[in-house]
């Protein structure tokens, strides 16, 4: 499913499909929405970075210690970790890195 938008609305995170129709939702309690890609979105939850699909099913997670998600695009998301920019796929597998 292609994700058009994900929004934190009140106490919910709501996912909208390519037609603009709400396709799913989950509790937003304790979650910060930090990135939206074409078929997943990224949250920060306490000390974790978690990746969800368009049905709000968790795909993967990794420690968020010393990491800040700065964006998501296409099929990847990017973090700033100290003086490094690191690119990950939806499984939290590092694809590349470069100096910030």
Angstrom CA distances, 69 to 10, 12, 79, 90, 97, stand at 22, 21, 4, 13, 14
Interval 26-53 mean pLDDT = 96
How many angstroms separate the CA atoms of 57 and 51, rounded?
A: 9
Flag whether the pTM goes above 0.85: yes
All structural domains of the chain with their residue ranges: 3-99
| pLDDT tens track for 47-87 | 999 999 999 999 999 999 999 999 999 999 999 999 999 99
What is the pLDDT, as a whole number, of residue 1? Answer: 78
Average pLDDT, the chain: 96
Residue 54 and residue 39 in contact, taking contact as beta carbons nearer than 8 Å: yes
């Amino acid at each position: 499913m292609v994700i058009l938008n994900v929004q934190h609305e009140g106490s919910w995170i709501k996912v909208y499909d390519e037609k603009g129709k709400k396709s799913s939702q989950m509790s937003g309690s304790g979650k910060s929405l930090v990135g939206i890609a074409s078929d997943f979105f990224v949250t920060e939850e306490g000390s974790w970075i978690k990746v969800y699909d368009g049905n709000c099913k968790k795909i993967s997670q990794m420690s968020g210690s010393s990491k800040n998600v700065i964006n998501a695009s296409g099929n990847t998301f990017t973090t700033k970790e100290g003086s490094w920019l690191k690119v990950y796929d939806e499984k939290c597998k590092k694809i590349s890195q470069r100096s910030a």
